[in-house]
Amino acid sequence: MKTGVVCLIGRPNVGKSTLLNNILGQKVSITSPKPQTTRFNIQAVYEDNRGQIIFVDTPGIFGKVRDPIAKRINQQAEASIERGVDVLVYMVDHTREKDFEENKTLGIARKVKAPKILVINKTDVRTPTHIVQYKFMEEEFDRVVEISALQRKNLNILLETIFELLPEGEPQIDTKTLVQPGLNIDSRLFISEIIREKAFLFLRKEVPYTLACVVDEVVERDNGVVYIKARILTSADRYKAMIIGRQGAMIKEISQAARKELETATSKKVYLELTVETDSHWSEYIG
């Protein structure tokens, strides 16, 4: 049996969260059209008759750090690698030009002594392509796998390659003890990330990276309904107005979408009380 820790690394918005979600077959790491979506390292477990893979999904590496959140994200990503991994999965997006962020990420990967897999994502997209800029990297990796994380193309080949490179051993994690199936994050964190994802999806370009979500209360009542009280924090009143929307239309859409996904994830009826607050300092204490 094969078992070990597999670290996913790549620059922001390269598709790591989509890959992990589709391998696990459930929502594990939130995805949105914006970069910097994943703000924390997520440990998720994949198991089959070949063994156990413990995935660590690092936040994307930022080339230029301008704010406290981005600084902590870089520190988290590098710390995950420094703690030791058995296999490194380095993901690139051939539709984007190689840049400073890519060079920084590659520099971190070069320090890893464990077996490394270069994963070329978005093979379902033909143009634009900058594949020639990444071809030279192949000789630095033990294996190269081309995939489409979104279309789930060649994910079976990637899993087979990971198992091939993992060491022999017994399972390291008892998945029965995890809060969500195969997931080790706290349930409140899971809820807040679902809400934050829906806010990104509905707001898109209207609100820059200026919001976070805090879950204040999660209670299952006698009637079986899960009551959740949460707040979206944003840095300025003008963003607060956009999140709420005219006559509360936007916050209602965000709340309904989040509630439906939470009901699917928990198989329970959910009541979500969602409000919006302005806090210009939230990025200093929420990572």
SS (H, E, C) 213-269: EEEEEEEECCCCCEEEEEEEEECCHHHHHHHHCHHHHHHHHHHHHHHHHHHHHHCCC
Q: Is the pLDDT of residue 83 over 80?
A: no
Q: Is the pLDDT of residue 204 over 60?
A: yes
User: Is 11 a known ligand-binding residue?
Assistant: yes
User: Is 123 a known ligand-binding residue?
Assistant: yes
Entry field: residues in the chain: 287
Tens digits of residue pLDDT in 187-203: 677 788 788 888 888 88
Q: Is the dihedral of CA 66, 236, 207, 30 positive or negative?
A: positive
CATH 3.30.300.20 placement within the chain? 187-284
| Residue corresponding to tokens 């609100």 | 207
User: Is 61 a known ligand-binding residue?
Assistant: yes
Q: Is the pLDDT of residue 217 over 80?
A: yes
User: Is 17 a known ligand-binding residue?
Assistant: yes
CATH 3.40.50.300 placement within the chain? 2-177
Burial 65-94 (b: 16+ CB within 10 A, else e): eeeebbebbbebbeebbeeebbbbbbbbbb
User: Is 15 a known ligand-binding residue?
Assistant: yes
How many of the other CB atoms lie within 10 Å of CB of 2? Answer: 17
Triad 110, 112, 113: Cα angle to 5°: 115
User: Is 224 a known ligand-binding residue?
Assistant: no
User: Is 124 a known ligand-binding residue?
Assistant: yes
Options 3.30.300.20, 3.40.50.720, 3.40.50.170, 3.40.50.2300; CATH of 187-284: 3.30.300.20
Q: Is the pLDDT of residue 102 over 70?
A: yes
User: Is 121 a known ligand-binding residue?
Assistant: yes
Tens digits of residue pLDDT in 119-143: 999 999 988 999 998 888 999 999 9
Q: What is the largest CA-CA distance in the chain?
A: 61
What kind and span of H or E run contains 16?
Answer: helix 16-24
Nearest residue to 40 via CA among 57, 16, 21, 64: 57
> Helix, strand, or coil here: 53?
strand
User: Is 279 a known ligand-binding residue?
Assistant: no
Q: Is the pLDDT of residue 7 over 70?
A: yes
Burial 101-138 (b: 16+ CB within 10 A, else e): bbebbbebbeebebbbbbbbbbbeeeeeeeeeebeebe
Task: Give the contacts of 110 (CB within 8 A, at least 6 positions apart).
Answer: 140
User: Is 68 a known ligand-binding residue?
Assistant: no
User: Is 234 a known ligand-binding residue?
Assistant: no
User: Is 186 a known ligand-binding residue?
Assistant: no
Are 137 and 25 a contacting pair, CB within 8 Å? no
Are 58 and 8 a contacting pair, CB within 8 Å? yes
Are 250 and 202 a contacting pair, CB within 8 Å? yes
The residues pairing with 230 across neighbouring beta strands, listed in sequence order, are: 215, 274
The fold for domain 2-177 equals Rossmann fold (3.40.50)
User: Is 148 a known ligand-binding residue?
Assistant: no
Higher local confidence (pLDDT), 156 or 262: 156
Taking the C-alpha atoms of residue 140 and residue 143, their distance in angstroms, rounded to an integer, is 9
User: Is 84 a known ligand-binding residue?
Assistant: no
Are 11 and 101 a contacting pair, CB within 8 Å? yes
HSE-up of 143 (CA within 13 Å, CB side)? 21
pLDDT recorded at residue 171? 78
User: Is 83 a known ligand-binding residue?
Assistant: no
Percent of the chain whose predicted confidence (pLDDT) is above 70: 74
> Helix, strand, or coil here: 148?
strand
